[in-house]
Amino acid sequence: MTTAQFDANQTRDFVGALWDAQIVPQLVDYIKIPNKSPMFDPDWVQNGHMDRAVAQLEAWAKAQPVAGMLVDVVRLEGRTPLIFLDIPAANGGRNDDCVLLYGHLDKQPEMTGWDDGKGPWEPVLEGDRLYGRGGADDGYAIFGSLAALMALQAQGVAHARCVVLIEACEESGSYDLPYYVDHLAARIGRPSLVVCLDSGCGNYEQLWCTTSLRGMAGGNLTVEVLSEGVHSGDASGIVPSSFRVARDLLSRIEDEDSGRILVEGLHVDIPAERRAQAAKVAEVLGTEVYDKFPFLPGMIPMHADLTELVLNRTWRPALSITGMDGVPPLASAGNVLRPYTALKLSLRLPPTLDGKTGGALLTEVLLKDPPYGAKVSLKLEKASTGWNAPAMASWLSEAVERSSQEFFGKPAMYMGEGGTIPFMGMLGEKFPGAQFMITGVLGPHSNAHGPNEFLHIPMGKAVTACVARVIADHNAASLRGETMGVSAAAVNSFADTPGGCC
């Protein structure tokens, strides 16, 4: 069989037309569905929003003219559903090799602060931006994955067998995903390339590949001092404030002046290669390293050195307080010394630090010798290990660079990300010989998880085209015997792997 050569112009035209005619309208409908992840919607089964989203994506996939494609919604009892696509090799590609493409369809909660006329479930198209929750994180993944393969098939370009996994639990830590990967192990096979479309980009002008992801330890810290609230004038000076006790405990973890994490066991040695990549990112992005955040006038970032800011965001531990309970809103706050304060802790961990170790250290430091004998508890919800990419094979680095030059006209860039994608660590363990292309469309001001989240449509198109090029080059490398397979002995169960959250 004579296989056609990859044509960048044809790919660009095909992908662009499919995005305009089908993908953007589909994402508009998808954004309208409040399919929040189970952590944020405990009644997700009864509410039915997740099933609506699954049904929409399933219907679109089944309607696509991909020869031999199997579209299956897999449902393990008591778990969120998973969409499984199996696309056979085409145009002389290899069926005994495999590319795995990953994304998720669950969403973060609403969050306040959306601009007038916008909202999490109200899709708004302004120029190149599609506003609304979940379009970029990560509803576009199934569309982008299939569009890349369809672009290859439309040209007669060969590709190996591909498997697409779209989970519905990522924003809750992917705690269901290991069970599905074990359940589907025989159907998945042993991928030599993993493509993840759930990451970020430093700008919208070139292809960005993620080299590392931080882990996460987080949960609810509760400090109790009274069985009920009492008059603050009567009790203050005698009864210690639960907020002050909580503040004291947090000072064991974090330097309140610099934000540096004080527990040395939560730090790791940063590899020299990652330091060099961070310096390159700082050079290319300049002040966009921090300009992308909506700082208030007069606010400055935590460090003057741009490289240090990149490393802070990607390789150093950092603590955020993302929620609070036991505190009434200002309008109804009386003169009461409150009985308790509860804080939601989000501690980002370096990529190579074991998540269980990080969670254990956090627990030990916070619970030891509570001030005044206060009742202190920590309900650890997440203890997720991060991920550090394996060395990139020459065929993949060449394919990534070629794709960025073809569809952006600029070289590819590599950087770590501050968030967590639990699936990457899981797959790194299960398929230690696989190569990884982790990329995405979450760039400056796209504000994933926050108000005014948007998808940059030209970036979505270009990333889709880049994925098509890389999959084509993967098959060529596979035929040359250059892709890295994994032994059957490496494929084992990891259903007990702890989850995390992005």
Domain map (residue ranges) of the chain? 8-213+386-490, 215-262+315-384, 269-313
Q: What is the pLDDT of residue 484?
A: 59
Q: Where do the DSSP E strands lie in 135-198? A: 161-167, 193-196
Burial of 113 (0-12, 13-18, 19+ CB in 10 A): exposed
Q: In the Cβ-directed half-sphere of 498, how many Cα atoms lie within 13 Å?
A: 19
Q: What is the pLDDT of residue 423?
A: 75
Q: Residue 2 above 60 pLDDT?
A: no
353: CB partners within 8 A, 6+ apart: 215, 266, 268, 317, 385, 386
- 3 state DSSP class of 467: helix
Please state the rounded mean pLDDT for residues 23-40.
97
Q: How far from 7 is each of 154, 156, 165, 431, CA to CA, in Å?
A: 11, 10, 27, 31
Query: What is the distance between the alpha carbons of residues 464 and 442, in angstroms, rounded to a whole number?
Result: 14
Q: What is the pLDDT of residue 428?
A: 80
What integer best gives the mean pLDDT of the chain?
Answer: 94
Q: Residue 349 above 90 pLDDT?
A: yes
Query: What is the distance between the alpha carbons of residues 423 and 135, in angstroms, rounded to a whole number?
Result: 20
Q: pTM, whole model, 2 decimals?
A: 0.87
Q: Which residues pair with 1 in a beta bridge?
A: none
Neighbours of 444 (CB within 10 A): 17
Please state the rounded mean pLDDT for residues 140-154.
98
Q: What is the pLDDT of residue 475?
A: 97
Q: Residue 491 above 60 pLDDT?
A: no
469 touches 155 (CB < 8 A): no
| CATH number of the structural domain 8-213+386-490 | 3.40.630.10
Q: What is the pLDDT of residue 489?
A: 34
Q: What is the pLDDT of residue 43?
A: 98
Q: Tokens for 3? A: 């296989």
Residues in the chain: 502
Query: What is the distance between the alpha carbons of residues 334 and 403, in angstroms, rounded to a whole number?
Result: 61
Q: What is the pLDDT of residue 422?
A: 75
Please state the rounded mean pLDDT for residues 306-334.
97
Q: How far from 12 is each of 94, 152, 448, 459, CA to CA, in Å?
A: 25, 11, 26, 12
Burial of 89 (0-12, 13-18, 19+ CB in 10 A): buried
Question: Poorest-confidence range of 152-166, 344-358, 480-494?
Answer: 480-494
Give the angle subtended at the CA of 398 by the CAs of 395 and 401, to the nearest 5°: 150
Amino acid at site 164: V
Q: Strands 435-438, 193-196: parallel, antiparallel or unpaired by DSSP?
A: parallel
Q: Tokens for 204? A: 């919208």
Q: How far is CA 492 from the centre of its chain?
A: 24
Q: Which residue has the tokens 């430091």?
A: 365
Q: Residue 98 above 80 pLDDT?
A: yes
Burial of 328 (0-12, 13-18, 19+ CB in 10 A): exposed
Query: What is the distance between the alpha carbons of residues 3 and 211, in angstroms, rounded to a whole number?
Result: 33
456: CB partners within 8 A, 6+ apart: 128, 129, 136, 204, 441, 443, 446
Q: What is the pLDDT of residue 199?
A: 95
Query: What is the distance between the alpha carbons of residues 103 and 315, in angstroms, rounded to a whole number?
Result: 24
| CATH number of the structural domain 215-262+315-384 | 3.30.70.360
Q: Strands 70-74, 413-417: parallel, antiparallel or unpaired by DSSP?
A: unpaired
pLDDT tens string 242-283: 999 999 999 999 999 999 999 999 999 999 999 999 999 999
DSSP code at position 228: S
Outline where 374-456 has alpha helix (H): 394-407, 422-430
Mind spelling out the 3-state secondary structure of 342-382?
EEEEEEEECCCCCHHHHHHHHHHHHHCCCHHHCEEEEEEEE
Q: Which residues pair with 320 in a beta bridge?
A: 346
Helix (H) or strand (E) holding 209: strand 208-213
Outline where 408-443 has alpha helix (H): 422-430
Q: What is the pLDDT of residue 272?
A: 96
- 3 state DSSP class of 37: coil
Burial of 441 (0-12, 13-18, 19+ CB in 10 A): buried
Longest dimension (CA), the chain: 88
Q: Residue 490 above 70 pLDDT?
A: no
Q: In the Cβ-directed half-sphere of 413, how many Cα atoms lie within 13 Å?
A: 24
Query: What is the distance between the alpha carbons of residues 143 and 27, in angstroms, rounded to a whole number?
Result: 9
Query: What is the distance between the alpha carbons of residues 358 and 124, in angstroms, rounded to a whole number?
Result: 40
* Omega prior to 138 cis, within 30 of 0: yes
Q: What is the pLDDT of residue 432?
A: 84
Q: What is the pLDDT of residue 106?
A: 98
Q: How far from 336 is each of 106, 223, 238, 248, 298, CA to CA, in Å?
A: 40, 16, 14, 21, 34
Asked if domains 8-213+386-490 and 215-262+315-384 share a fold, the reply is no
3-state helix, strand, coil in the chain (%, to 5): 40, 20, 40
